Structure 1
């Protein structure tokens, strides 16, 4: 508990340092802190995204084999599960990896820390059209919802989702939370979602280029 308190105090002190020593507003300080932390953890998150992209492509490639297993072992669920796991191991498909765990853990810890800090409403400066970032702002909450949906849409495995509702759920939850939360929290959420969407775009382009290089015939 003391360790967590020290962590949240560090977040508050960092925002305070940016406002007093760097001379930016509290809103800009929140954005800068979010960007710096996301950049620091970007090697982990990018690695997790690349693994997800590879899993997606490999799953598409082995679909005929999976369909064959389902047909052969349709009355033997235990054997079906065993053969499926063996096929995954053969093609090095890992749905849970150390990188994925590290990515989820780091983002969850930072996100929950910022949530606690910004919910305290100790920040009250003006930002853009928002007169006081300690108060909710519906327009900003809606913007966060749009950015959250975009970020989810651009995730490497989003094409495999059953329908758009699955992607809309996080966006709707974010709006529901933020319409009554301090705008300071919305600024963090918007920045993190925008960073995630941009990062997904870069990783997708990189993976598509790598895939294209592998499939091109050698001269």
Structure 2
């Protein structure tokens, strides 16, 4: 707990220093912090997303073989599982999953630490752009976050068309509702992070054109 509190305190001090250097603008400091964190992780998250796209393509390619294995070993679940593992290994499916776990392990504590630091620093935060108080929710900011979430999903080529249809509205609604009920300072961090998600989707779309 002491280590975590020290981590949050350090981030809070960095935010305070950024705000001082940026004309005492805590809102601008939050945006800069979010962009530094997310852009720093962008190469890792972009590579993970590209690996996910390749895995999905491989799974689609072996779907007939998976169906054949299911019929052949319908009465022997153990043999079916072993045959599937062999098929996955032959086609390189499953490789690279560790990078996705690494990305999550890096992003989760860092994101929680930044969120905690922002919450601590919002008591003395004032206005930013159209937002009168960063410590209070702002519906326009919630709408902006929802729009950015929608754009990131729409541009993401690593997600199948079917999943896009099913999942497009859910993250948008969740993002809107959470930011609408959260302090605007936290919403600013979410908005900047969502903007990087849009950039990631656009870069991924460009990189994957070579494989089509």
Pair in the same fold by TM > 0.5:
yes
Change (3 A) 1:191 1:159: same
Shift of 1:79: 2.3
Shift of 1:123: 4.8
For residue 181 of structure 2, give the secondary structure of its aligned residue in structure 1. coil
For residue 126 of structure 1, give the secondary structure of its aligned residue in structure 2. coil
2-structure distance, mates of 1:6, 1:154: 38
- Of 97-106 and 169-178, more deviation after overlay is shown by 169-178
Please list, as runs of the form range in 1=range in 2, the aligned pairs for 1:92-107 lying within 5 A after superposition: 92-94=92-94, 97-107=97-107
Gapped runs of 5+ residues in structure 2?
none
Shift of 1:138: 1.1
For residue 158 of structure 1, give the secondary structure of its aligned residue in structure 2. coil
For residue 122 of structure 1, give the secondary structure of its aligned residue in structure 2. helix
Per-residue deviation, residues 49-82 of structure 1 (Å, max 9, x unmatched): 1111111221122222222222322333332222
CA contact (8 A) 2:154 2:164 kept: no
Determine the structure 2 residue equivalent to 1:6. 6
Determine the structure 2 residue equivalent to 1:60. 60
2-structure distance, mates of 1:100, 1:125: 38
Shift of 1:188: 0.4
Determine the structure 2 residue equivalent to 1:216. none
In the alignment, does 2:171 pair up with 1:170?
yes
1-structure distance, mates of 2:85, 2:177: 39
Gapped runs of 5+ residues in structure 1?
213-219
Shift of 1:132: 1.3
CA contact (8 A) 1:114 1:185 kept: no
For residue 75 of structure 2, give the secondary structure of its aligned residue in structure 1. coil
- Of 128-137 and 170-179, more deviation after overlay is shown by 170-179
CA contact (8 A) 1:123 1:184 kept: no
User: How many pairs does the alignment contain?
Assistant: 211
Structure (1/2) with the larger helix percentage: 2
Change (3 A) 1:156 1:75: farther
- Of 47-56 and 114-123, more deviation after overlay is shown by 114-123
2-structure distance, mates of 1:160, 1:129: 36
Change (3 A) 1:95 1:163: farther
Change (3 A) 1:123 1:158: farther
Determine the structure 2 residue equivalent to 1:138. 139
Shift of 1:163: 6.2
1-structure distance, mates of 2:128, 2:97: 40
2-structure distance, mates of 1:80, 1:150: 40
In the alignment, does 2:182 pair up with 1:181?
yes
CA contact (8 A) 2:8 2:117 kept: yes
